[in-house]
Amino acid sequence: MVRDAVAVSAPGKVFLAGGYLVLDRAYTALVFGLDVRIHVIVENIPTKKGVTLNEIVVTSPQFEGAVWEYGYRLADKDGGIKVTQLRADADLNLNRNPFVETTLEYVLSYIASVSSPNIMPASITILADNDYYSTPASVDSGSGSGSRFHNFGVPITKAHKTGLGSSAALVTSLTAAVLSYYLPVDEFDAATDARKRKLHNLAQAAHCAAQGKIGSGFDVASAVYGSCIYRRFSPSILAKHGEPGKPSFATQLRHLVDETGDAGTWDTEIRKSEVKIPKGLRLIMCDVDCGSQTPGMVKKVLAWQKENPEQADKLWAELQLANEGLAQELKSVAEARGSSDYDRLRQCFTRIRRGIREMSEESGVPIEPQSQTELLDACSGLEGVIGGVVPGAGGYDAVVLLIEDQEAVVERVKTLLAGWRFKGESGEEDGKVSMLGVREEMEGVRVMDADDYRDWLA
């Protein structure tokens, strides 16, 4: 028996310190969750008496044409559940969503391997908090601008992401919601720490498969656990299992998620107790309406590292110390209860940015390009701004600032950004910079009340 309608949400992320270093298990990353979430609601599809469906319908009502219908079947030879997108009209091209499709195959295969393979049809609704996407002017100034979930009025492929980790939050919340819907509480409960490890393992496997490569996994980890210091898992862990539909996939996946059989134990490190934001401070994100090609940047930095191992190792070791110093100082100030001496925090940001600019210069990759340097310097010079960085892989996407949690400080930043002319990769001053309405979030995946979403369900 499946449960009644269930709802789960997972947060976005900002990668405050540890960009590029996180790819190597020798180093760690400081990742903060953000209070911008992807929400997934799963409920039954009503059918007439005597009618049987093997169908899952997924809808994202904030975007045009965002409906995906899937058939599913149990594959031979322990191959798990194969999912096939259904075509409503033979003349229409399939509008594929690899993250949804792959996640369903992985999660349903795991469910079938640990429980009854008789999976009932379901309706799934996906809702994204507004700041995951740059809001079009027509929405921003028109009716509905104050809505909890904007109708963006464009296909999801045309929506401009703000780089807050939407794919990881989607995969994590979808994984948790589907597990919660089909499995009894004694087998899976997203609200318990013990079950979050299985959720983490399954979401990591599905996310890596969907994006076609084994990433560091920091974004999925923060979606599951929230703000943390993160050390990546060994890539070999995800290199051992096959693909959905292939012989023995279901058993291999179950061993991988449950850490049984020959799969071995995941060597991920998640340290939550070492991450704190002092009372009176907060993080803010400033979205730059330009964008960078992150995979290409990562490849170039790794190529430079391989060609200059001694120089790269020395620089990365210095950056690791600076990153650890920031986490430690944040915790120290938080535990000092009301300390307003932020000079050492400012020095931490200075050290990190110095290292990032050196890596940028030596590798020839615009991790902190000149236009971002100018923006960060201007913001850091405002009263009440402690410091900031270009997060994650860097480039032209966004900056993150640590500020005093006062409305006057927020207004100073907004005033500066309102008149800012940002020079993007094209060299032209065509980039708009705006402050997103997000802040740090310590909690990860969260069970929600499905009734709160009734106005958005089809």
CATH assignment of the domain containing 430: 3.30.70.890
Domain count, the chain: 2
Provide the token pair at 336: 């000092």
Decide which of 126 and 289 is more confident: 126
Mean pLDDT of the chain: 89
**Residue given tokens 């930095």 in the structure block:** 301
Predicted pLDDT of residue 111: 95
Predicted confidence band of residue 142 (pLDDT cuts 50, 70, 90): very low
Per-position DSSP letters for 222-250, written without gaps between them? HHHH-SEEEEPPPGGGGSS---TTSTTHH
Nearest-5° Cα angle at 177, 175 to 180: 105
Q: Is the pTM of this model over 0.85?
A: yes
Considering the domain boundaries, does residue 22 fall inside one? yes
Same domain for 203 and 338: no
Same domain for 91 and 42: yes
Q: Which of 162, 176, 99, 155 is nearest to 129 (CA)?
A: 162
Say whether pLDDT at 305 is over 80: yes
The number of helices, as runs of H, and strands, as runs of E, in the chain is 11, 16
Same domain for 257 and 345: no
Question: How confident is the model over 302-312, as a mean pLDDT?
Answer: 95
Whether 221 contacts 201, CB under 8 Å? no
Q: Cα separation of 124 and 40, whole Å?
A: 7
Say whether pLDDT at 370 is over 60: yes
Same domain for 155 and 249: yes
Q: 61-65, 115-119, 388-392: which has the minimum mean pLDDT?
A: 115-119
- Count Cα neighbours of 238 within 13 Å in the Cβ-side half-sphere: 22
Predicted confidence band of residue 134 (pLDDT cuts 50, 70, 90): confident
Q: Domain holding 113: CATH number?
A: 3.30.230.10
Predicted confidence band of residue 217 (pLDDT cuts 50, 70, 90): very high
Considering the domain boundaries, does residue 115 fall inside one? yes
Question: How confident is the model over 144-149, as a mean pLDDT?
Answer: 69
Decide which of 51 and 6 is more confident: 6
Range of the domain at 392: 281-439
Q: Cα separation of 325 and 331, whole Å?
A: 10
Same domain for 317 and 264: no
Decide which of 228 and 137 is more confident: 228
Say whether pLDDT at 344 is over 90: yes
Q: 67-81, 164-178, 413-427: which has the minimum mean pLDDT?
A: 413-427
Predicted pLDDT of residue 143: 39
pLDDT per residue as tens digits for the range 54-98? 899 999 999 999 999 999 999 999 999 999 998 755 555 668 899
Q: Which of 368, 373, 369, 379 is nearest to 414 (CA)?
A: 379
Decide which of 239 and 440 is more confident: 440
Whether 167 contacts 209, CB under 8 Å? no
Predicted pLDDT of residue 4: 82
Same domain for 363 and 285: yes
Decide which of 95 and 316 is more confident: 316
Q: Cα separation of 335 and 240, whole Å?
A: 43
